[in-house]
Structure 1
């Protein structure tokens, strides 16, 4: 991490709330569910289905985790009421994984049961590597009961190819991301090209085992490599989609959509927007520079590809 990055991180707590809101506004729907549903409705009218994410992670109590589960049930109900083809995506530590794996399983199950009669989908997100094993165990147990549940895997991690092989033997829905967590080099790829190669190999493995591949990226060259894998297998749009972050590289969305590829937009919201933004900026200060350049109309460095795991929460 360079000197400028360290200086930017050090000043984050001093950034006035209105300025931080400006930094965040394009990329976060707002503080309230109604704002997120409104934004998802706007996207749907333009041909983009969505993903609803309530900001937050690492709750401190069981009561907080239970409230998060209730908020997601309410969010799913709001999506139904608005007639939106959007689904919910939940971080395991937001449902108390760090407190108890059984608690997280119970609350994921509670949400899955609530949305199942309505044909809605839920994704179990992936966080940093210390939570990976527990997250995959929770997902496997959910798959024993439900078909409307998906998972996220991070191409950056060496283990991901083995994790693909170990997925439940059913038609799973997997969001593949590069991974925003800057993991230790002993367990993860750190070179950009190596991460891209791993992403393509993960995509190959997922397609060959019959999974639905949610390709979460804003890297157009990488996307073209993945599309070649799809075309070589003569797969149609029922087997894949692109997933993108709200506010990031919107012309690329339109390019993909115009070419006939499905594109889904990840829409985060919630009162935890500032704490969340600061945590994410500390984990990867390049996001700060990208957003700053974007706000002031400056070109983005070609060496930096903005936040390309389609979930600011990862």
Structure 2
């Protein structure tokens, strides 16, 4: 049943008609519930509200698989302006982005040029930029770019996905770079050739990756709504004398709000992933596909006043 639910929402995420409909009419409906707003400026008030509650933030301008150099350059400019505004407004926020939004599918030199401009701005303003992981065909290119940028910049991090067989080796490969890593289960539809098909195997690999990265002494962001994963992390950290300032929990905006605040009260750093922009529909469907329980979390968030 879980596999059917996942496939259903992944299928919906690729529906162009529904995506266009959402862009034209759904932005205001989703703002303040599952996205910050249709642009960064309109998201600031929601970020301030989260910060006041002791919650840190990472923002993401939604949109990927850009096939136009002009659009990739526009996304770059927008990201630079966002970083500068985060600093100016004194927000407790980082930035997340995808390499395909900056031109990865167009030209490698283009994405390097755009990302260099972004990271120059990030270093100047001391704002962390996380390179989100995408699907399998783009995984190696993303990691290669991360390692290239990490040799020059401090304020850059990336993401590893627990459902891929390759990720344990990838973790070992990047460990020498003293990385800030966000560890996730994974949201794209991948074949059994590349990914664990069973949830229990994904969960076990996820725990293994969390443990290894913490033992490596690297800063670890555990991005999960799963109570089992959260409790595992807490217990592992206590057992191995890993300080709370070596890791953080991350959750999606509009989901598990009560749990987020409880973690803050318990003394853990909690970061909320706040997407913004018109291309929110595909993101929303993939989040529902990740875990059936997210459906209930989203419904509660949507109907709250």
> Shorter-chain TM-score category?
0.7 to 0.9
Contact map agreement 2:27 2:278 (CA 8 A) in 1: no
Q: Give 1:103 shift.
A: 1.7
1:294 matched to 2:297? The reply is no
What does residue 187 of structure 1 align with? 194
1:168-179 equivalences under 5 Å are: 169-179=176-186
CA distance in 2, matches of 1:20, 1:286: 23
Q: Return the match for 2:56 from 46, 49, 56.
A: 49
Aligned residue in 2 for 1:77: 84
State the shift of 1:197 in Å.
Answer: 0.7
Do 1:182 and 1:283's aligned partners in 2 also have CA atoms closer than 8 Å? no
Secondary structure at the aligned position of 1:167 is classed as helix
Please say if residues 254 and 297 of structure 2, whose CA atoms lie closer than 8 Å, have aligned partners that are also in contact: no
For 1:243 and 1:117, how far apart are their aligned partners in 2? 25
* 2:207 is aligned with 1:200: yes
TM-score (norm 1): 0.85
Unaligned runs of 5+ in 2: none
Give the equivalent residue in structure 1 for 2:151. 144
> Retained in 2: the 8 A contact 1:5–1:285?
no
Take 2:293 and 2:247, find their aligned partners in 1: how far apart are those partners?
A: 27
2:229 to 222, 227, 233: 222
CA 1:23 to 1:43, structure 2 compared with 1: closer, same or farther past 3 Å?
closer
Contact 2:28/2:38, CA 8 A, preserved across alignment: no
Distance 1:13 1:44 in 2: 31
Partner of 1:30: helix, strand, or coil? Answer: coil
Of stretches 102-111 and 91-100 in structure 1, the one that deviates more from structure 2 is 102-111
2:272 is equivalent to residue 265 of structure 1? yes
In the other structure, the counterpart of 1:240 is 247
Separation of aligned partners in 2, 1:196 and 1:263:
21
* Mean CA deviation greater in 135-144 or 202-211: 202-211
SS at match of 1:243: strand
Normalized per residue, the structure richer in helix is: 2
> In structure 1, which of residues 163, 169, 186 is the aligned counterpart of residue 170 of structure 2?
163
TM-score (normalizing by structure 2): 0.87
Q: Which has the higher contact order (CA 8 A, sep 6+)?
A: 2
| Counterparts in 2 of 1:182 and 1:215: CA distance versus 1, 3 Å | same
Determine the C-alpha separation between the residues in 2 that align with 1:92 and 1:247.
Answer: 25
What is the alpha-carbon distance in structure 2 between the residues aligned to residue 69 and residue 20 of structure 1? 22
1:34-84 Cα offsets, whole Å, 9 max, x none, are: 122221111001101100110100112111111111101100111111111
Q: How many residues align?
A: 295
SS in 2 for 1:127: coil
Q: Which residue of 2 aligns with 1:305?
A: none
For the 8 Å contact 1:156–1:178, the answer to whether it is kept is yes
Backbone CA RMSD of aligned residues: 2.8
